[in-house]
Amino acid sequence: MIFFRRIFRLVAIGWMFVYSIAELLITRPKSRPERAAWLTRFCGRVLRATSIHIHATGPIPTEGAVISNHLTIVDILSHSALRPCVFVSKAELREVPLIGWISMMAGTVYVVRGGGGSAQKAAQGMAKGFRDGLPVTFFPEGGTFMGDEPVMPFRSGLLAESLAAQAKVTPSFIRYELTPGDIAAGRTPREDVYLGERSLPNMVWSLVGLERLDVHIVFAGHAIDFPPEAYEDRKIAAVIAHAIVLELSGTTADRTGPTASVV
């Protein structure tokens, strides 16, 4: 039963890729909003083909910067399926077969860690997204993590670029829920959803074997109200943002130093 479910869904995903790429080549969207809209349609099709359902709590932001914890590649599909947006990603994504080409065509902003001029290029790409009226989504943890800690410490670079552009920063938290049947079968988000050290095909094979996957995304009601010192010291901004995302997870962090609220 599970084997045939996997085969059926893999065929469906393959068809969605073929259809969406053909749509992209035919329509040739030129502007970033048009490309982001195409990515939203594509991600929605893939999620439906794999029986992944999104549950969003709170107002879905349609502008400014959107930050979230980062668990797996499904985070990107889920955030994009909710509405057109621009993603900021590690440059390594461009090297992933097919996925890299799709991300490039969708207008993703790439960041090269330690690369000369990378921060300036990222700032320019994010600024274009802000000017186009699209929410710019990124994951300040800097990588995917699914462990005992609900949220890992945040890197400050992209947050600093958002504040420098005077963009509103809306926090969110994402988590995954399996069906009772999958749980009874011994499946877990860590083993069947998280990429970790596995290859992408291996992760997809596990994912398509699930009965159903529910994605819960909690958005804060409003943007973060950063204090003045957060604009002067980006590490302070990172600590504040991390604490608020942690609160959205249902966990309270011990804060030291400046505090902020979601207003």
169: Cβ contacts below 8 Å, ≥ 6 apart:
64, 65, 66, 67, 159, 162, 163, 223, 224, 226, 241
Reply yes or no on whether the pLDDT at 34 is more than 60.
yes
Half-sphere exposure of residue 209: CA atoms within 13 angstroms, side-chain side = 19
Of 258 and 216, which is predicted with more confidence? 216
96: Cβ contacts below 8 Å, ≥ 6 apart:
200
- Is the CB of residue 89 less than 8 Å from the CB of residue 109? yes
Q: What pLDDT shows up at residue 81?
A: 94
Write out pLDDT tens, residues 71-124.
Answer: 988 999 999 999 999 988 877 777 777 777 778 777 788 877 655 556 677 788
Of 49 and 103, which is predicted with more confidence? 49
Mean pLDDT of the chain: 87
Q: What pLDDT shows up at residue 257?
A: 41
Residue 141: which domain range?
2-262
Distance of CA 233 to the CA centre of its chain: 25
Q: How many domains does the chain have?
A: 1
Of 27 and 196, which is predicted with more confidence? 27
Tell me the CATH number at 188.
3.40.1130
- Predicted confidence band of residue 204 (pLDDT cuts 50, 70, 90): very high
Pairing of strands 65-68, 136-138: parallel
Tokens matching residue 115 = 């690369």
Write out pLDDT tens, residues 142-152.
Answer: 877 776 778 99
Q: What pLDDT shows up at residue 229?
A: 96
Reply yes or no on whether the pLDDT at 256 is more than 70.
no
Reply yes or no on whether the pLDDT at 163 is more than 80.
yes
Whole-prediction pTM: 0.88
